[in-house]
Amino acid sequence: MKIFNLDEKYNVVCNSESTRAGFRHVATLHKNGFSIAKSKCLYYNRTWECYEFESVLVKIIEDNFTGTEKEKYLQAVKYENLK
């Protein structure tokens, strides 16, 4: 499990789970401690992400935010993980 803080209100909790055919990453978006959205990405072989959970983080942010807020959160997770 890994927690990504987007700002004071929002964070994303990510988990990796085994499946019969490979594995999946599951992300849960929380606002003020309450779960408000869930997203998952399935992998059958390897993942070619720049950092762990990249695809599922991008997916949950793009599905739940728009405009400048979306861009701000995408930059936040990218910057935090490329340090």
Instruction: Write the pLDDT tens digit of every residue in 2-24.
Output: 999 999 999 999 999 998 888 99
Residue 43: pLDDT above 80? Answer: yes
pTM for the predicted model, two decimal places:
0.87
Tokens of 30: 């929380």
Residue type present at position 78:
K
70-83 pLDDT tens trace:
999 998 888 776 55
Measured CA to CA, the distance from residue 9 to residue 21 in angstroms comes to 36
Which residues face 24 on adjacent strands?
17, 42
Looking up tokens 């594995």, which residue turns up?
A: 23
DSSP 69: H
Residue 3's H or E segment, with its range, is strand 2-5
Tokens of 13: 């909790």
